[in-house]
Amino acid sequence: MIANLLDRGADLVERADVCVIGSGAGGAVAAAELAAAGRKVVVLEQGHHWTARDFTQREDEMLPRLFEEGGMRMTRDASVTILQGRNIGGSTVHNLCYAFRTPDPILRMWREEHGLTGLSPEALEPSFQRVERQLRVKQIQEHQVNSLNRIVRAGAEELGYSGFVTRHNRENCIGAGYCILGCSYDAKMSMLVTYVPRADAAGAAIYAGARAERIEAEGGRVRRVLGSAVDLDGRPRASIEVQAPVVVLAAGAVASPDLLLRSGLGGDAVGRNLHLHPSVMAAGFFDDDLHAYRGIPQSYYIDQFIDLERDPHRGYVLMPIAGFPVMVATQLPGFGREHARRMRGFSKMAGLLVLLHDRTAGRVESGGALAKPKIGYRLEPDDARQLAEGLVHCAEVLFAGGAREVVIPYQPEPLVLARGDDPRAILERGVVQGEIPIASTHPQSTCRMGVDEAAGVVDPWGEVFGVRGLFVADMSVFPTSLGAPPQITTAALADRTAHHILARGSEPAA
């Protein structure tokens, strides 16, 4: 059963074996695995249940529907925009479907430096296989590489930079290109069309418009989840109480620590160690129309500037990016006629971004309301330097791919490079927060795994220290920045946690 709580018109009181908070890459997997094994599962999702028929391919309609704070969630100083999903299926509904397993060197670092000896490729293999099978992960085919990604590949190959065509989780994709606004054709194998229906078929009760507001524990055991039924604007309309001896918190690396903090659970490390995978972008303008958004938006991946075997702590990748008019207009600098001139070149524009494997550690704290947490993040000098260095390489790749002009969107004065200009001029401007748009789609590590409370918030299976039966199963459990797209890692760790819960047997009733 998938139901909108507002349609009930009454308070919700439930007893369950497991209450799952969140329905994204972690929560949906945990719910489906536990329900399929016969557990009575209740899922609480604060967002709405939107489906393919609701995905209108219009930014003005889809951004408020699919994103926290309408796509305008920001750090406290407004220097970094953080894009997170708010709907059944979570961020998998709007993501761009890169399908990477956890890099082996990252797992090795987690074992050797964080004591997480069970996180080996061999131990995770069953979870990876189950997740990739459910999400229909496959290699992107050559004919599916669109104009944007072909240009990026051509530029990389001209320069001798290492890169490759990746894997993804799409089935029968028609190449419409509106992935970030939700797939109108159910070709994206998001949680919305894979694990959520599987959980539903196994008997899970999945409630949309259900905001968890407090987790209660007694005697060192989790007991219940309290919250509110909320409308599309987040206004409370009724109360929620779910009594359960097991709670799986999978609300994301901003909301999960916020909820733990509001509940007084998890210890001093909750909300700390925030990594963002921050990204900055360069825009290349070409002589001919590209229509870069058409087709699969991201299929090529430049890994020349990250070598996790040599140094698992740092590096960055270059990834193609294409937006739609509103998104692009907010990123391009300038005003009036100058801004309009650049926007008239929309069809001739190609974007390339730097995605940083960051060492900077920020923090999430509770704000005045659940919908408005305080997010602090200030780039360390070396991370800022790497982002600037990455922009130099973005400009090089775009010019090598045929761009006549590259714009680095500094505010208020952009850096405009013509073919033949030295892109190292970017290093003089650098990357300074507040002077260039910085975005994040991968917040992580705020409830990180560790061997004890001094090292983290949860144990190697995702269980919160000191609270039996309370687990975290989202990107917040990563001990460090992942250094790669996180969808498959998140889902695999949630699968591992769910099977651990099953192996442990039934918990005492709440």
Confidence of residue 326 (pLDDT cuts 50, 70, 90): confident
Written as one string, the DSSP assignment of 398-457 is: HHHTT-SEEEE--SSS-EEEETTS-TTHHHHH---BTTB-EEES--B-TT-B-SSTTT-S
The 8-class DSSP code of residue 140 comes to P
Identify the CA nearest to 137 among candidates 114, 167, 110, 182. 167
Work out the average pLDDT over 316-335: 88
Residue that is written with structure tokens 């991946």 in the block: 301
* Average pLDDT of the residues of the chain: 95
3-state secondary structure of 307: coil
Work out the average pLDDT over 353-361: 98
Q: Which three-class secondary structure string do you get for 185-201?
A: CCCECCCCCCHHHHHHH
pLDDT tens track for 232-285: 888 889 999 999 999 999 999 999 999 999 999 999 999 999 999 999 999 999
User: Distance between terminal CA atoms of the chain?
Assistant: 23
Would you report the helix, strand and coil content of the chain in percent, each value rounded to 5? 30, 25, 45
Work out the average pLDDT over 359-387: 95
* pTM reported for the whole predicted model: 0.96
Q: What whole-number percentage of the chain has pLDDT above 70?
A: 99
Instruction: Determine the Cα–Cα distance for residues 112 and 81; give it in Å rounded to an integer.
Output: 33
| b/e 79-96 (16+ beta carbons within 10 angstroms → b) | bbbbbbbbbbbbbbbbbb
Joined together, the tokens standing for residue 444 give: 């992580």
pLDDT tens track for 145-161: 999 999 999 999 999 99
Identify the CA nearest to 20 among candidates 212, 255, 192, 247. 247
Confidence of residue 28 (pLDDT cuts 50, 70, 90): very high
Q: Is the pLDDT of residue 509 over 80?
A: no
pLDDT tens track for 445-464: 999 999 999 999 999 999 99
Supply the pLDDT for residue 333: 82
Query: How many secondary structure helices (H) and strands (E) does the chain include?
Result: 12, 24
Supply the pLDDT for residue 505: 81
Supply the pLDDT for residue 323: 86
pLDDT tens track for 42-92: 999 999 999 999 999 999 999 999 999 998 899 999 999 999 999 999 999
Instruction: Determine the Cα–Cα distance for residues 85 and 388; give it in Å rounded to an integer.
Output: 28
Joined together, the tokens standing for residue 103 give: 């890099």
Work out the average pLDDT over 177-181: 94
Which residues, other chains included, contact 100 with Cβ-Cβ below 8 Å and sequence gap of 6+?
Answer: 166, 167, 484, 485, 487, 488, 489
Supply the pLDDT for residue 229: 95
Confidence of residue 129 (pLDDT cuts 50, 70, 90): very high
Q: Is the pLDDT of residue 96 over 70?
A: yes
Supply the pLDDT for residue 171: 96
Supply the pLDDT for residue 2: 94
Q: Is the pLDDT of residue 510 over 70?
A: no
Residue that is written with structure tokens 């925030």 in the block: 274
**Amino acid symbol at 1:** M
Confidence of residue 368 (pLDDT cuts 50, 70, 90): confident
Work out the average pLDDT over 217-224: 97
pLDDT tens track for 370-382: 878 999 999 999 9
Supply the pLDDT for residue 412: 87
Q: Is the pLDDT of residue 348 over 90?
A: yes
pLDDT tens track for 270-282: 999 999 999 999 9
Output the CA angle 24-25-26, nearest 5 degrees: 90
Instruction: Determine the Cα–Cα distance for residues 285 and 186; give it in Å rounded to an integer.
Output: 32
